[in-house]
């Protein structure tokens, strides 16, 4: 059973606080547990957009699932608005990398899904779903089925469904990773537009440094095996961010510094093996 979540402002601390989190997995071929995450301590302030980057296998997605309440940490805890996370809750919306749309439902019905599960009255469900279909550019496709949509359009359905449920925190696990570069950049811009209006707290996992810099207020770098927080780098590029942001000298400098640090971490990891 998931923990209740207090109203905004009920806690004086950060919106999300990760305290001493370890995650160990028992492997069939070994009596020694595999340590995926080691002593993770991280705070995420309300309305901040935080990107989490790191090499493949560093535990980024595991950490995000722990924040969501989808995975219980072996040790430590996650606190959301003053309450310990015990399981999933609608206050924490999750967007997966793979499409999570239901193929037997229309776009509108997909967007309504969480609202219907909560018992929201039909006319109100329709109003909210139509609003978010419009926001993500799917108003004319509201009655279409997922098989009729492109990959980018299906990802818009995912975003609309999560936002329609009005979570406090948006957790995104490489949501644009499977898309082509042009569609990916377009959706990044659209996501920032929606975020600028809603100001949800966002934790965004990605392996793409450029994506992290373009979207986030702060980039958190994880080292791997076991996953640990290696650095927190503020991104003070002005908002709103545009395509010109990507080609600015300031953007290039942040890319160089983050990639350099990630290379050094990979080299340290390789030397320690």
Helix axes 181-198, 151-164, angle to 10 degrees: 20
**In a 10 Å sphere around its CB, with 0-12 CB exposed, 13-18 middle and 19+ buried, how is residue 249 labelled?**
exposed
Residues 6+ positions from 9 with CB-CB distance below 8 Å = none
- Cα end-to-end span (Å), the chain: 40
- CB hemisphere CA count around 175 (13 angstroms): 30
pLDDT at 272: 59
pLDDT at 11: 43
pLDDT at 12: 46
pLDDT at 1: 32
pLDDT at 116: 93
Q: In the numeric block, which tokens belong to residue 146?
A: 């997922």
pLDDT at 273: 58
- Name the β-bridge partners of 220: 52, 232
pLDDT at 271: 59
Residue 237, CA distances (Å) to 176, 247, 254, 257 in order = 22, 12, 10, 15
Q: Where are the beta strands (DSSP E) in 126-180?
A: 169-173
pLDDT at 7: 47
Neighbouring C-beta atoms of residue 208, cutoff 10 Å: 17
Q: In what order do the strands lie in the sheet with 218-223?
A: 92-95, 169-173, 201-205, 49-54, 218-223, 228-234
Distance CA 56, CA 11 (A): 34
Nearest to 185 by CA among 135, 239, 243, 133: 243
Dihedral sign (CA 77, 79, 80, 85): positive
Q: What is the CA angle 95-100-105, rounded to 5? A: 130
Mean pLDDT by 10 residues, the chain (273 residues): 42 81 86 90 96 93 97 97 94 91 96 94 96 95 96 94 95 93 94 92 96 98 92 95 96 96 83 59
Contact (CB, 8 A) for 107 and 138: yes
């Amino acid at each position: 059973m998931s923990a209740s979540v207090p109203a905004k402002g009920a806690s004086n601390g950060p919106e999300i606080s990760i305290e001493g989190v370890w995650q160990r997995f028992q492997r069939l071929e070994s009596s020694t547990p595999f340590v995926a995450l080691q002593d993770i301590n991280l705070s995420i302030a309300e309305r901040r957009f935080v990107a989490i980057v790191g090499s493949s296998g560093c535990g980024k997605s595991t950490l995000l699932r722990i924040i969501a309440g989808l995975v219980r940490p072996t040790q430590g805890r996650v606190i959301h608005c003053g309450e310990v996370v015990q399981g999933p809750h609608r206050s924490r919306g999750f967007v997966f990398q793979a499409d999570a749309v239901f193929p037997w439902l229309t776009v509108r019905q997909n967007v309504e899904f969480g609202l219907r599960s909560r018992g929201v009255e039909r006319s109100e469900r329709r109003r909210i779903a139509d609003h978010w279909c419009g926001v993500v550019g799917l108003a004319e496709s509201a009655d279409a089925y997922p098989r009729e949509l492109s990959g980018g359009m299906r990802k818009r359905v995912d975003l609309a469904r999560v936002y329609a449920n009005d979570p406090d925190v948006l957790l995104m696990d490489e949501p644009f990773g499977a898309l082509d570069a042009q569609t990916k950049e377009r959706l990044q811009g659209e996501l920032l537009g929606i975020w600028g209006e809603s100001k949800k707290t966002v934790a965004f996992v990605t392996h793409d440094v450029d994506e992290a810099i373009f979207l986030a207020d702060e980039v958190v770098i994880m080292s791997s095996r076991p996953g640990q927080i290696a650095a927190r780098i503020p991104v003070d590029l002005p908002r709103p961010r545009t395509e010109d942001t990507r080609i600015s000298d300031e953007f290039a400098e942040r890319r160089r510094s983050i990639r350099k640090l990630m290379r050094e971490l990979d080299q340290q990891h390789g030397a320690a093996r």
